[in-house]
C-alpha cells in the first residue's frame, strides 16, 4: 500500500522542484528513507481499497523506466546534500512491486545504488504476493541488492485465501517462502485477522504453519479494516458474505496469535510485528509510522522531508507527464506543527517500541495521572520501567485508539498552556 503523510496543519500545494534543494539541506542530520511505489496489481483483493491499475503485458518495462527517470531527476535536485545523509531504508511498496519483471526491478535497484548513498547496512525491502513471485525474480533482485522481502499473505488457509481473491495454496506458499529463505532474504509475512468465516483456531494454525513449516524471520498481524468502497464491504452489504469478526472476536484472535507466536519463540517487536532473531530490523515499517524523512518515487507515492509533505501525482498519465516535463513527479505542502507536536511525535516513536514515554517526558503529569491509572487498571499498560510505560498485549491490540486519544490529549494540554 502507498505511503502517505498528513495530520498536521493546513498548507498550500507547491511544486516539489521549487522546494527540494532547500529542504533536504536543512535536514542533513536526520536519517533518510526512500519509498518507491508500484501501483499495479494482477487483480484486486476483496478487502483492498488501494487497488489502482491492473498489471498488463509491457507495464513493467515502461513503469521501471519512469522510476529510473524519477530517481535521476530527484537525485539531481536533492542530490548535492544527499551525500551527507545516511539512507537507513529503501522500501518498494504497492500495489505489487513483485509484479515487475526480474530485469526491470533489478535495473531500478542498480540506478538507485548508482545515484544514492546506499550501503551494506541499508535495509532494502521488496513487497509482494506469492502469486507471480518466481524463483528467478527473487534471485535477480537479491543479486541487485534487495535484502528483505515482505509478503502480503493475509492467511494460509486456502479456503479463506480464495474468498479474498488470493490464488496460491499452502504448498505454493511453503515453496516460495523457502526460495526467499534459501536466497538469504530477511523474509516477512503479513497476516490479517477478523476475516469473514475466520475463527481463532484458523489464526493459531496460520502461526503454527509459518513457525514450524517455513523459515520466516518476522510476521505482521493486522486487524481487518472494512473499507467502505472495497469489494468485501459491498459483498457484506449485499448479504453474499458473512460479516467480519466483531471487536470481541478480533481481540480473542489477536491474543491467541500473540500467545502462539511467543510459544514458537517469536519476539513481540512492535505492536503489530513479531520477529524471530535480530536479522529482522523492520527499519522502514517503524520509521514510516513516525515523522522520519521519506523521499518518495513513483505514481501516487507519498513521503515527507521535515514539515514538508510530498505527494506523487495520482494517475499514471499525470505522473508520466510530470516526469517527461522534468517536474519531479510530485508536489508538496508545507504544514505547520500542531500544538504539542513534539510530545505527539514522542508518543508515536515510543509506541513503535511497545511503550508510552517515561513520565518525566509528559507535559502535564498531574493531568495525565487519572488517564494512566485507568489504563493500568484496564490492563493496557504495565508498571513504569526506565524506558517508559510498557504496553501489555491488550495495549498493543488497542494501540491505535490509545495513540489517537493521547494525540488529542497532548494537543489540548499544549493549547491550554499556550
Nearer to ligand SF4, 96 or 344 (CB): 96
Nearer to ligand SF4, 88 or 230 (CB): 230
C-alpha cell at 380: 493496557
Nearer to ligand SF4, 96 or 299 (CB): 96
- To ligand SF4, the closest distance from the beta carbon of 294 in angstroms equals 19
Nearer to ligand SF4, 19 or 180 (CB): 180
Name every residue whose Cβ is closer than 8 Å to that of residue 131 and which is 6 or more positions away in sequence: 42, 166, 167, 168
- To ligand SF4, the closest distance from the beta carbon of 152 in angstroms equals 5
- To ligand SF4, the closest distance from the beta carbon of 166 in angstroms equals 8
* 386 secondary structure, DSSP code: T
**Other Cβ atoms within 10 Å of 11 Cβ, number:** 14
- Our CA angle for 252, 286, 300, nearest 5°, is 105
Instruction: Say if CB 13 and CB 275 are below 8 A apart.
Output: no
- To ligand SF4, the closest distance from the beta carbon of 168 in angstroms equals 12
Provide the pairing of β-strand 218-223 with 273-275.
Answer: antiparallel
Nearer to ligand SF4, 116 or 141 (CB): 141
DSSP tally for the chain: helices H, then strands E: 15, 17
SS3 content of the chain, % helix, strand, coil (to 5): 45, 20, 35
Which residue in this structure is represented by grid cell 498519465? 317
- Our CA angle for 346, 192, 4, nearest 5°, is 45
- To ligand SF4, the closest distance from the beta carbon of 164 in angstroms equals 8
Q: What is the largest CA-CA distance in the chain?
A: 62
- To ligand SF4, the closest distance from the beta carbon of 335 in angstroms equals 27
Name every residue whose Cβ is closer than 8 Å to that of residue 62 and which is 6 or more positions away in sequence: none
Nearer to ligand SF4, 44 or 208 (CB): 44
Sign of the dihedral through C-alpha 212, 222, 154, 311: negative
Nearer to ligand SF4, 94 or 393 (CB): 94
- To ligand SF4, the closest distance from the beta carbon of 65 in angstroms equals 22
Nearer to ligand SF4, 97 or 329 (CB): 97
- To ligand SF4, the closest distance from the beta carbon of 132 in angstroms equals 10
User: Residue 166: phi, psi to the nearest 5?
Assistant: -95, 130
How does 292-318 read in b/e, with b if 16+ C-beta sit within 10 Å? bbbbbbbbbbbbbbebbbbbbbeebee
Nearer to ligand SF4, 45 or 292 (CB): 45
Q: By CB under 6 A, name the binding residues for ligand SF4.
A: 1, 41, 44-45, 48, 50-51, 94-96, 129, 152
* 359 secondary structure, DSSP code: G
C-alpha cell at 67: 522510476
Spatial separation of the C-alpha atoms in residues 261 and 284, rounded to whole Å: 22
Nearest in space to 299 (alpha carbons), one of 280, 283, 317, 287? 317
Nearer to ligand SF4, 35 or 116 (CB): 35
- To ligand SF4, the closest distance from the beta carbon of 392 in angstroms equals 30
- To ligand SF4, the closest distance from the beta carbon of 51 in angstroms equals 4
**Beta partners for 387?**
none
Amino acid at each position: 500500500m502507498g505511503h502517505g503523510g498528513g495530520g498536521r496543519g493546513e498548507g498550500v500545494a507547491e511544486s516539489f522542484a521549487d522546494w527540494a534543494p532547500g529542504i533536504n539541506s536543512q535536514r542533513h542530520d536526520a536519517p533518510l528513507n526512500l519509498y518507491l511505489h508500484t501501483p499495479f496489481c494482477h487483480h484486486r483483493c476483496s478487502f483492498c481499497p488501494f487497488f489502482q491499475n491492473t498489471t498488463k503485458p509491457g507495464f513493467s518495462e515502461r513503469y521501471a523506466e519512469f522510476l529510473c527517470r524519477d530517481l535521476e531527476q530527484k537525485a539531481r535536485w536533492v542530490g548535492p546534500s544527499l551525500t551527507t545523509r545516511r539512507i537507513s531504508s529503501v522500501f518498494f511498496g504497492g500495489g505489487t512491486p513483485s509484479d515487475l519483471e526480474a530485469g526491470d526491478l533489478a535495473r531500478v535497484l542498480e540506478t538507485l545504488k548508482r545515484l544514492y548513498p546506499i550501503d551494506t547496512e541499508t535495509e532494502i525491502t521488496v513487497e509482494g504476493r506469492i502469486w507471480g513471485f518466481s524463483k528467478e525474480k527473487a534471485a535477480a533482485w537479491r543479486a541487485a541488492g534487495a535484502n528483505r522481502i515482505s509478503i502480503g499473505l493475509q492467511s494460509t488457509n486456502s479456503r479463506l485465501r480464495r474468498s479474498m481473491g488470493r490464488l496460491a495454496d499452502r504448498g505454493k506458499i511453503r515453496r516460495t517462502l523457502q526460495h526467499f529463505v534459501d536466497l538469504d532474504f530477511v523474509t516477512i509475512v503479513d497476516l490479517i485477522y477478523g476475516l469473514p468465516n475466520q475463527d481463532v483456531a484458523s489464526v493459531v494454525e496460520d502461526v503454527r504453519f509459518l513457525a514450524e513449516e517455513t523459515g520466516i524471520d518476522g510476521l505482521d498481524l493486522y486487524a481487518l479494516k472494512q473499507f467502505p468502497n472495497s469489494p468485501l464491504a459491498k459483498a457484506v452489504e449485499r448479504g453474499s458474505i458473512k460479516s467480519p469478526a466483531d471487536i470481541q472476536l478480533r481481540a480473542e484472535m489477536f491474543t491467541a496469535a500473540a500467545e502462539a507466536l511467543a510459544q514458537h519463540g517469536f519476539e513481540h517487536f512492535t505492536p503489530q510485528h513479531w520477529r524471530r532473531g535480530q536479522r529482522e530490523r523492520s527499519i522502514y515499517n517503524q520509521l514510516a509510522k513516525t515523522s522520519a524523512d521519506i523521499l518518495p518515487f513513483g505514481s501516487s507515492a507519498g513521503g515527507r522531508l521535515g514539515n514538508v509533505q510530498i505527494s506523487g501525482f495520482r494517475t499514471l498519465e499525470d505522473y508520466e507527464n510530470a516526469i517527461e516535463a522534468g517536474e519531479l513527479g510530485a508536489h508538496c505542502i508545507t504544514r505547520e506543527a500542531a500544538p504539542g507536536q513534539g510530545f505527539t511525535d514522542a508518543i508515536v516513536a515510543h509506541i513503535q517500541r511497545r511503550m508510552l514515554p517515561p513520565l518525566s517526558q509528559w507535559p502535564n503529569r498531574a493531568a495525565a495521572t487519572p488517564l494512566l491509572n485507568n489504563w493500568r487498571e484496564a490492563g493496557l499498560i504495565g508498571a513504569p520501567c526506565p524506558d517508559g510505560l510498557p504496553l501489555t498485549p491488550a495495549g498493543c491490540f488497542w494501540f491505535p485508539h490509545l495513540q489517537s486519544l493521547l494525540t488529542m490529549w497532548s494537543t489540548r494540554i499544549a493549547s491550554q498552556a499556550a
